[in-house]
């Protein structure tokens, strides 16, 4: 009759009329996915929109860790589910109080009485349950304004929930509910964080990485696969597109003004990413750019580089400081991989003094001189792109798809 559950709460998207069912299906799918390792746990959905996880003996802390990876989940509460009867509520209230990590000095009971047929009115029920708890805990006092513990009791028609704690979830939108985007993923600190923010906003991302093999090593490639794997923990799986960029880079180096090579390389990257986006029916590009962070990210450079994109470019980190980005990278577990020392394709070709204020006209003129080979080289890079499906744990499941 009495079971341990986790009550789930969702963001404002769950209130949005026509899309509600779609959002709900998407989040249900994600919750079921993360809870798969806990084979006995079961997601329950009530007709009035309440959702909870029945633990059936599985560990709460394990479930809480997994739920922390479900975007759209606003908060959750470990709760006791019981029948809406007085004796059962008293028993659950006591149990909830004994389970608290630290014994409080003050508490209050807050009742939500959804079942209007329940024989006791809200205030009366609060008083009765409060009194029952007080009888069993010496020295405990009621404080209705600022209690250490707020014991919440929800009385519904078929069942009741008793809980006191609310743990914040990641928030945002259910994965995929806002469409698909291509994430330009380097091996650095920023772009994985940008990808995480994009996913949190409901975008299903596919990663695009440019490598300059053999100038960049297998280990550099593995680093990006590992970063994708960490992000895949939030999505179930992520497509990773590995683009051969050596040819374009070496030819750009031969043909353009040295201080413009980064700008031209980035424009080529955007063009390739757009072509891949078309193939994969993605409607946006996500990057880890942060205004002013390095020479290639001055406003002037962002302008000249961003001009080639026709899709919306989403830059979740654009106004963030490195010191704000790093704690997030640590929280989402990408940081230890990002700081591994393997070379990036761009650092190999960085000039002594890259332009911070390129002229769009000059850059476009340079590209006109490359008209004979650049568009074709871009098509070849797209054609030579290797795609793999990266999953969270099992390396053996990485299939070469195309
Ligand atoms: P990051 O920490 O993400 O590498 P960064 O501070 O090093 O960023 P840049 O190297 O200027 O910045 O790159 C800016 C953005 O361009 C990156 O955040 C990423 O989105 C994209 N980018 C850079 N290099 C690559 C690459 N080799 N493959 C894919 N995308 C890249
Ligand atoms: Mg970088």
The CATH number for 137's domain is 3.30.2130.30
Q: Give ion ligand 2 contacts, CB < 5 A.
A: 186, 188
85 lies in a domain?
yes
Ligand nearest to the CA of 320: 1
| 227 and 328 in a common domain | yes
Distance 352 CA to ligand 1 centre (A): 18
Atom 11 in ligand 1: residue holding the nearest Cα: 296
| 161 and 21 in a common domain | yes
Q: How far apart are CA 38 and CA 57, in angstroms?
A: 9
Structure tokens at 336: 């230890």
Asked if 296 contacts 303 with a C-beta cutoff of 8 angstroms, the reply is no
Phi, psi of 231 (to 5 degrees): -65, -35
User: Which is it for the CA torsion 249, 224, 201, 48, positive or negative?
Assistant: positive
Percent of the chain with pLDDT over 90: 84
Atom 6 in ligand 1: residue holding the nearest Cα: 190
Q: How far apart are CA 112 and CA 98, in angstroms?
A: 22
Q: Which long-range contacts (CB under 8 A, 24 or more apart) does 165-168 make?
A: 165/77, 165/78, 166/9, 166/75, 166/76, 166/77, 167/64, 167/75, 167/76, 167/77, 167/78, 168/74, 168/75
| 188 and 134 in a common domain | no
Which ligand 1 atom lies nearest to the CA of residue 183?
20
173 lies in a domain?
no
Q: First vs last Cα of the chain: how many Å apart?
A: 53
| 184 and 253 in a common domain | yes
| 221 and 153 in a common domain | no
Which ligand 1 atom lies nearest to the CA of residue 191?
3
| 231 and 85 in a common domain | no
Mutation to probe ligand 1, out of 184, 186, 267, 302 (largest number of atoms < 8 A from CB): 186
| 211 and 163 in a common domain | no
61 lies in a domain?
yes
Ligand 1 and 288: CB distance under 6 A: yes
Distance 345 CA to ligand 1 centre (A): 10
Q: What is the pLDDT of residue 398?
A: 46
Q: Which domain holds residue 208?
A: 180-401
Q: Has this prediction a pTM greater than 0.75?
A: yes
Confidence tier at 214 by pLDDT (50, 70, 90): confident
Q: What is the pLDDT of residue 345?
A: 63
Indicate the burial class of 273 (C-beta count within 10 angstroms; 0-12, 13-18, 19 or more): buried
What is the arithmetic mean of pLDDT over 217-226? 92
Per-residue pLDDT of 65-75, as tens digits, reads 999 999 999 99
| 208 and 147 in a common domain | no
| 349 and 263 in a common domain | yes
| 300 and 158 in a common domain | no
Number of domains in the chain: 2
Ligand 1 and 44: CB distance under 6 A: no
Q: How far apart are CA 317 and CA 183, in angstroms?
A: 13
State yes or no: pLDDT of 319 exceeds 70.
yes
Confidence tier at 298 by pLDDT (50, 70, 90): very high
Atom 26 in ligand 1: residue holding the nearest Cα: 186
Indicate the burial class of 276 (C-beta count within 10 angstroms; 0-12, 13-18, 19 or more): buried
Residue located via tokens 């053999």: 214
Q: Which regions of 294-359 does DSSP assign to beta strands (E)?
A: 313-314
Binding region:
184-185, 209-210, 266, 288, 297
Distance 346 CA to ligand 1 centre (A): 8
| 237 and 159 in a common domain | no
175 lies in a domain?
no
Ligand 1 and 294: CB distance under 6 A: yes
Residue located via tokens 């008293």: 90
Within 77-178, residue ranges assigned H as helices are: 86-98, 122-136
């Amino acid at each position: 009759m009495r079971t341990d559950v986790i009550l789930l709460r969702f963001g404002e998207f769950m209130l949005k009329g026509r899309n509600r069912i779609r959002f709900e299906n998407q989040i249900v799918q994600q919750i079921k996915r993360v809870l798969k390792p806990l084979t006995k746990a079961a997601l329950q959905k009530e007709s009035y929109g309440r959702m909870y996880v029945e633990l059936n003996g599985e560990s709460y802390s394990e479930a809480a860790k997994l739920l922390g990876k479900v975007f759209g989940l606003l908060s959750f509460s470990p709760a006791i589910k019981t029948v809406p009867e007085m004796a059962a509520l008293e028993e659950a209230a006591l149990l909830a109080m004994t389970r608290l990590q630290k014994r409080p000095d003050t508490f209050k009971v807050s009742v939500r009485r959804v079942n209007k047929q329940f024989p006791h009115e809200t205030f009366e029920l609060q008083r009765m349950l409060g009194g029952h708890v007080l009888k069993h805990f010496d020295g405990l006092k009621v404080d209705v304004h600022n209690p250490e513990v707020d014991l919440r009791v929800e009385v519904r028609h078929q069942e009741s929930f008793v809980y006191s704690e609310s743990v914040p979830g990641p928030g945002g939108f259910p994965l995929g509910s806002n469409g698909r985007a291509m994430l330009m993923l380097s091996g650095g600190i920023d772009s994985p964080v940008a990808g995480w923010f994009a996913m949190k906003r409901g975008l299903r991302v596919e990663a695009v990485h440019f490598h300059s093999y053999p100038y960049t090593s297998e280990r550099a490639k593995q680093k990006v696969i590992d970063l994708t794997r960490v992000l895949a923990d939030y999505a179930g799986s992520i497509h990773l597109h590995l683009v051969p960029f050596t040819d374009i880079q070496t030819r750009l180096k031969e043909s353009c003004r040295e201080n413009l090579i980064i700008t031209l390389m980035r424009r080529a990257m955007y063009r390739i990413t757009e072509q891949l986006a078309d193939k994969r029916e993605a409607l946006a590009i996500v990057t880890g750019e942060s205004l002013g962070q390095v020479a290639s990210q001055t406003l002037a450079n962002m302008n000249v580089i961003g001009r080639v994109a026709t899709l919306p470019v989403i830059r979740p980190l654009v106004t963030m400081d490195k010191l704000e980005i790093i704690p997030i990278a640590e929280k989402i577990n990408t940081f230890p991989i990002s700081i591994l020392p393997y070379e990036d394709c761009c650092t190999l070709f960085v000039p002594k003094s890259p332009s911070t204020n390129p002229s769009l006209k000059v850059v476009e003129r340079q590209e006109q001189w490359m008209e004979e080979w650049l568009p074709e080289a871009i098509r070849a890079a797209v054609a030579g792109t290797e795609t793999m499906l990266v999953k969270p744990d099992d390396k053996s499941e990485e299939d070469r798809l195309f």
